[in-house]
Amino acid sequence: MYILSIITVGSLKERYWKDAEHEYLKRLTPYAKVDIVSLKETAFSRVSEKEKVVSLEGEHILKKIPKDVYCLILDRVGTHMSSEAFAECLKDEGERGQKIVFIIGGPLGISEEVRNRANKRISLSHLTFPHQLASIVLIEQIYRAMTIVHNKQYHY
């Protein structure tokens, strides 16, 4: 069984996001134990506060990352990979019993300190998504990866 954690800045607010999250977490139960840690967003009124906000959120993220885990961050300049390559990445770490932690930053991004902690930086797309949507896409891709790893029919 894979042990996964998703640390995200901000929480799912709308019912439809929560419903989607619940559905994919339910589908994942045969393959993985998934823990979601939602951190409070730092309020800001101007984008000029970006450095301060990202730094503060980064400190909160780093406090939640356990030692000795494989850490992947969602980063707009991260590696683009296919679903199959993503599945292989999870398989390589998960089958060794390694706990895998995913990080989703807030609306202003991720601090350099968090980037430096990551074992791998991945990008979901060249497009930019709201972090609530990115969270759902990530969970769906984790589910897709598990079905690929376990030769289940979902990914064609």
DSSP SS3 for 56: helix
**What integer pLDDT is reported at residue 117 of this predicted model?**
97
Rounded to whole angstroms, the Cα distance separating 56 from 110 reads 10
Give the C-alpha separation, 108 to 104, whole Å: 11
Residues of the chain with pLDDT under 70: 155-156
pLDDT of residue 154: 81
Kindly list the structural domains of the chain, giving each domain's residue range(s) and its CATH number in brackets, ordered by start: 2-149 (3.40.1280.10)
Q: Which residues pair with 108 in a beta bridge?
A: none
- How confident is the model at residue 82, as a pLDDT? 95
Output the pLDDT for position 131.
85
